[in-house]
Amino acid sequence: MAYTNVNFKTKKALKEAVAAGQKISVYNPGLGGPIDPNAKGVVIEMPHYPEPHRAYAQVDLKDGFVVKVK
């Protein structure tokens, strides 16, 4: 599972940021290794803190940035 560089509290907030053109990148904090910058179907956990992992989203990346939220 991966996180975004911004600590979104909800999937809706992530969708709104992507729709507004905000550049959102993702990273893998665990042992999974680097994420393909053009991957599809990357699972994102939100928020990082204070109450982690209350929401999830599946995203598509292009050049390392989120372009679609499912």
Interval 18-50: pLDDT, tens: 999 999 999 998 877 899 999 999 999 999 888
Task: Answer yes or no: is pLDDT of 52 > 90.
Answer: no
Residue type, 24: I
For range 44-68, the mean pLDDT: 94
Distance CA 60, CA 70 (A): 8
What percent of the chain has a predicted confidence (pLDDT) above 90? Answer: 83
CA atoms within 13 A on the CB side of 66: 30
Positive or negative torsion for Cα 57, 59, 64, 29 = positive
Q: Does the structure show a pLDDT above 90 at 59?
A: yes
